[in-house]
Amino acid sequence: MNRGSKKQGKPVRVDQQRLFHVTHVRNLPSIIASGSILCDDLLHDDDRAETAEVLLSSDENRAARRRITIEDTTVSAYVPFFLSPDASVWGSIRSREPNVRLNPDLVRSSPNDYVMLVATVASIRALDTTDLVIADGDAAAGLTRFASEPDQAERMLSRFALDDSGELKLVAEALVRGEVPVSALSIIGVASIKQRERVKQQLADAGLNTKVAAHQPWFAPQ
């Protein structure tokens, strides 16, 4: 049997695919207080929440996400997740490199100032009422393709999983409509033990028991 035929027989468990939402640690208290990660539209809904303290996306990227639609809904109505802890945009933050998708002020921040909120495809689908869309690139880019139907999303995720180079996952996004409850997270990754203890206390104070782990490789400059 050649290598290609072995590849075709490899089982793919897309439900176990991890999804990574990066935010600044100063945004975490409002996420914990509301009990959910909110999409950009809800973050700017005066009846729901205050604006995030530290905005990661550039004005241009956020404006594009308010223009581009998935069927009849703008991208800004979705919470964005990466499909890899080494995603390209996160790599720019880790290395303090300018990126047109990012707030230019972020080059002055340290990667240790961020937290990684981790869910899985299975935990998102278990929410039932939540729409999950997979994008094969920047959701604000005109040529990006979206898989909004479950079977389409399954095929796109399978293609990413079978990509030996891993490059497809570095640019892809998973988009969750509306909000993602903290209870759907499997882990919150932080850069240090000190940060871990601080976040654990914040969660405990809110009556939440999400696992928190210090995993410095996720935050090391690339």
pLDDT for 50? 56
Q: What is the pLDDT of residues 19-68, one digit of tens each?
A: 999 999 999 999 999 999 999 999 876 665 556 789 999 999 999 999 99
Give the residue ranges of the chain where pLDDT is below 70: 1-11, 45-51
Q: Would you state the structure tokens that stand for residue 188, as one six-digit string? A: 């919150």
pLDDT for 61? 96
How far apart CA 95 and CA 111 sit, in angstroms, is 8
pLDDT for 9? 54
C-beta separation of 30 from 50 below 8 A? yes
How far apart CA 176 and CA 157 sit, in angstroms, is 15
pLDDT for 92? 96
Q: Would you state the structure tokens that stand for residue 106, as one six-digit string? A: 């972020």
pTM, entire model: 0.92
pLDDT for 165? 94
C-beta separation of 153 from 118 below 8 A? no
pLDDT for 48? 55
Which element (helix H / strand E) includes 157? Answer: helix 150-161
How far apart CA 133 and CA 153 sit, in angstroms, is 7
